[in-house]
Amino acid sequence: MRTEPVFLGWRAAMERALYGPGGFYLRERPAAHFRTSVHASPLFAEAVARLLRRVDEALDAPAELALVDLGAGRGELLTGVLARTAPELAARLRPFAVERAPRPAGLDPRIEWRAEPPAGVVGLLFANEWLDNVPLEVAETDEDGVPRLVEVAPDGTERLAGPVEGADAAWLARWWPLAGRPGERAEIGLPRDLAWAAAVGGLAGGLAVAVDYAHLRAERPVSGTLTGYRAGRAVAPVPDGSMDLTAHLASDSCAGPGARTLTQRAALHALGVRGARPPYELASRDPAGYLRALRDAGEAAELTDPAGLGGFHWLLCPVGVDIHWPGESTD
């Protein structure tokens, strides 16, 4: 007997494919499928360590400073930051990895591994490429220009379901208004806004930073951005557990009062990561130093490339402190 495929809204389908039993993130090592800034270069952890020092200063060196890595992967960023933190600060530092995947073997025992962000802590909360993996609904306008929810089967076949209603419709109208042309798509970012607000709400003081591929209201992509990543390649999104499923962040809808958005390029420049080549005369004076500086320049160029990682948005949400950020913003 032939069984009919089960269609789900994209939010439920993503949830199951990424985090359900046998889901992609519980099974796979993310670095085997895509490269984040954390994997691209140790300069990224160095920049986050510098940012942590700024936050510590702004908080007047509290007795306990939290570093919360939200969507910590295998703990690579925390490991890198700990290796670059001076003993005086490390002694006051409480590093938390917040992850749905299990704790990897051999991780630094100072890192507390947990499923939910801690509440009431002061310090830096950093979420690199977390929000783009928070499941969300997809809407598409039908022949009559009505936005409808998109449902998907495990093999990736899609169909249109009922009209978008309620809080989802209000979110669309405010943040991603559709012009009514048949086939336009939008990704309804409400679950991300709520997830981010809850994460920021856990900080009693300090800075929360979300870093992601993102877009603003004036420039939403007409066909949406939902994509699959498998073994280093972008592929059509299929919710079968075999691939990462990601959609860019509507960073303006996530930003609460007092938030600011910079490009990663501007943020990293402000934190001292620049792609300048070393002077040639260094090559004869200190050949090994020249090669190191050349490697760093190449990695910094990748992290700050406006057409790649440098075009990511850094959504900066201060909580009760004033942290000065030089540099241009995205808006």
Ligand X SMILES: C[S@@+](CC[C@H](N)C(=O)[O-])C[C@H]1O[C@@H](n2cnc3c(N)ncnc32)[C@H](O)[C@@H]1O
Q: Which residue ranges make up the site for ligand X (CB under 6 A)?
A: 25, 30, 36, 38, 71-73, 98-101, 128-130, 133-134
Q: Read off the tokens for 197.
A: 């607000």
Distance in Å, CB of 130 to ligand X, minimum: 5
What is d(CA 140, CA 43) in angstroms, rounded to the nearest whole number? 40
Shorter beta-carbon distance to ligand X: residue 28 or 296: 28
Distance in Å, CB of 212 to ligand X, minimum: 9
Q: Read off the tokens for 260.
A: 């600011």
Shorter beta-carbon distance to ligand X: residue 41 or 141: 41
Per the CB < 8 A criterion, the answer to whether 145 and 181 are in contact is yes
Shorter beta-carbon distance to ligand X: residue 25 or 290: 25
Please give the residue whose beta carbon sits closest to ligand X in the complex: 71
Q: Hey, is 161 helix, strand or coil?
A: strand
Distance in Å, CB of 136 to ligand X, minimum: 12
What is d(CA 42, CA 40) in angstroms, rounded to the nearest whole number? 7
- 210: Cβ contacts below 8 Å, ≥ 6 apart: 127, 130, 131, 196, 249, 251, 254, 313, 314, 315, 317
Q: Which helix (H) or strand (E) holds 293?
A: helix 287-304
Per the CB < 8 A criterion, the answer to whether 196 and 190 are in contact is no
Shorter beta-carbon distance to ligand X: residue 88 or 116: 116
Task: State how far Cα 118 lies from the chain centre.
Answer: 18
Distance in Å, CB of 28 to ligand X, minimum: 9
For residue 238, report the phi and psi dihedrals to the nearest 5 degrees: -130, 120
Distance in Å, CB of 129 to ligand X, minimum: 4
Distance in Å, CB of 170 to ligand X, minimum: 23
Shorter beta-carbon distance to ligand X: residue 130 or 175: 130
Q: Which helix (H) or strand (E) holds 313?
A: strand 313-319
Shorter beta-carbon distance to ligand X: residue 38 or 203: 38
For residue 296, report the phi and psi dihedrals to the nearest 5 degrees: -60, -40
